[in-house]
Amino acid sequence: MDVSLLESALHDRGEPAYRAQQVWEWTARGAAGYDAMTNLPRALREALEADVPFSTLAVETQGESRDGTVKTLFRTADGHPVEAVLMRYRDGRRSLCLSSQSGCPLTCTFCATGQMAFGRNLTAWEIVDQALHFRRIEPVDHAVFMGMGEPMLNLDEVLAAARRLPALGITHRRTTISTVGWLPGLKRFVSDVDEPIRLALSIHAADDELRSQIMPVNVRYPLREVLAECRRHYAITNRRVFVEYVMLNGVNDSPEQGRALAELLGPKGFKVNLIPYNPTGMYDGSSRTRIAAFKAQLDRAHVPATVRLTRGRDIEAACGQLAAAPKERQRTVASAR
Ligand code: SF4
């Protein structure tokens, strides 16, 4: 819901200022539409229905994985595809993976989004509407900006969206913004953001040569500079930076590379998530044995590390798999449950 549009529509009708807050509160609590907002006069509900779209996004397809993960493909009003994911964990957590752009201009080689055409930055409302869609399905409590796009390339809209999430039940401490190391945005995030929003860095290699091959952004902003900003974040906030490391068989997953990562990060300031790779064509995922041997190097150096649970692999909703699959393919996937 575009709340700015809502506010001007209410203003034009001479409605009191508190009406916008009433509508927002209903929406954030998961109301299905204006009609559910029973403390608004019926005539006003009908007028809003006509003047202010309840969502800036239209749902095109939706698939549900065997593990309960839900992936939704949306369209913006001007036709751009956007995907977002609801992950359901056994401990009850309900975590959203949100997109900040339609497509992505950075071309990380392991990522399906990076292989599709870049559309544009999303507005804050288009980001919030992804979260609201899932809030209408059930209560949600965590969010990660790890869907399509590089959030630091669209930081103002991402932050504006993140600041709306507590109304949906997602506190700042349970919100994570992830970057591949887009330095201008990262510097602003570290310097300017006062809210306790978590930071994640997708690192995927411990040396510049390999990292530049996997992630061209590293040619522009090398590891040393990016890690210096992450350390500054830790020094200011005392909150560890999550380090994402996707395990690519025979590429970045040897024990020596594990040792190099441990040395690079050190025991303070970071927490590593090793991510089993969800093949999108170019690479194979590492075996469990190789992941365990890699993790042992981090354990030995007292660098906190976990292996991430993969969710939604069968509906291509897992990390690196968001690529706005065509309608037909998504339907097939959804119906194969
Ligand atoms: S990993 Fe992130 S930054 Fe890299 S291409 Fe994919 S969406 Fe873009």
Give the fold, CATH level 3, of 1-54: DNA polymerase; domain 1 (1.10.150)
| For residue 234, pLDDT beyond 70 | yes
Active-site positions read 83, 319
Q: Is 111 in the pocket of ligand 1 (CB under 6 A)?
A: yes
Test site for ligand 1: of 150, 204, 316, 322, most ligand atoms within 8 A of the Cβ? 150
Ligand 1: which residue has its CA nearest to atom 7? 149
Query: What is the residue extent of each domain of the chain?
Result: 1-54, 55-336
Per-residue confidence (pLDDT) for residue 317, from 0 to 100:
63
pTM of the model: 0.93
Q: Is 108 in the pocket of ligand 1 (CB under 6 A)?
A: yes
Per-residue confidence (pLDDT) for residue 114, from 0 to 100:
80
| For residue 337, pLDDT beyond 70 | no
pLDDT tens figures, 138-150: 999 999 999 999 9
On the CB side of 16, CA atoms within 13 Å amount to 5
Alpha helices, H only, the chain:
3-12, 18-28, 42-51, 112-115, 124-135, 155-162, 183-192, 208-214, 217-220, 223-237, 255-265, 288-300, 327-335
Per-residue confidence (pLDDT) for residue 326, from 0 to 100:
45
Q: State percent of the chain over pLDDT 90.
A: 86
| For residue 226, pLDDT beyond 70 | yes
Selected from 2.60.120.10, 3.40.50.2020, 3.20.20.70, 3.40.50.1970, the CATH number assigned to the domain covering 55-336 reads 3.20.20.70
Taking residues 323-331, report their average pLDDT: 48
| For residue 329, pLDDT beyond 60 | no
Ligand 1: which residue has its CA nearest to atom 4? 108
Q: Is 159 in the pocket of ligand 1 (CB under 6 A)?
A: no
Q: Is 106 in the pocket of ligand 1 (CB under 6 A)?
A: yes
Which residue(s) pair with 200 in the sheet?
Answer: 178, 242
Distance 164 CA to ligand 1 centre (A): 24
Q: Is 149 in the pocket of ligand 1 (CB under 6 A)?
A: yes
State the chain's mean pLDDT as an integer: 92
What are 89's two structure tokens? 């964990």
Per-residue confidence (pLDDT) for residue 320, from 0 to 100:
64
pLDDT tens figures, 289-322: 999 999 999 999 999 999 988 777 776 665 566 7
Per-residue confidence (pLDDT) for residue 323, from 0 to 100:
72
* DSSP SS3 for 261: helix
Alpha-carbon distance of 252 to 255, in angstroms, equals: 9
Q: Is 230 in the pocket of ligand 1 (CB under 6 A)?
A: no
Ligand 1: which residue has its CA nearest to atom 3? 150
Test site for ligand 1: of 104, 110, 244, 278, most ligand atoms within 8 A of the Cβ? 104
Which residue type is seen at 232? Answer: R
DSSP-assigned letter for residue 285: B
| For residue 125, pLDDT beyond 90 | yes
pLDDT band (50, 70, 90) for residue 198: very high
pLDDT tens figures, 126-172: 999 999 999 999 999 999 999 999 999 999 999 999 999 999 999 99
| For residue 325, pLDDT beyond 70 | no
Test site for ligand 1: of 106, 178, 219, 282, most ligand atoms within 8 A of the Cβ? 106
Taking residues 217-239, report their average pLDDT: 98
Ligand 1 atom, smallest distance to 104 CA: 8
DSSP-assigned states of every residue in 34-96: GGG-TTS-HHHHHHHHHHS-S-SEEEEEEEE-TTS-EEEEEEETTS-EEEEEEEE-TTS-EEE
pLDDT band (50, 70, 90) for residue 331: very low
| For residue 332, pLDDT beyond 50 | no
| For residue 259, pLDDT beyond 80 | yes
Taking residues 57-85, report their average pLDDT: 96
Per-residue confidence (pLDDT) for residue 322, from 0 to 100:
74
> Which residue, 57, 34, 114, 162, is CA-closest to 283?
114
Per-residue confidence (pLDDT) for residue 321, from 0 to 100:
67
Per-residue confidence (pLDDT) for residue 334, from 0 to 100:
30
Distance 67 CA to ligand 1 centre (A): 25
Q: Is 177 in the pocket of ligand 1 (CB under 6 A)?
A: no
pLDDT band (50, 70, 90) for residue 77: very high
Per-residue confidence (pLDDT) for residue 278, from 0 to 100:
81
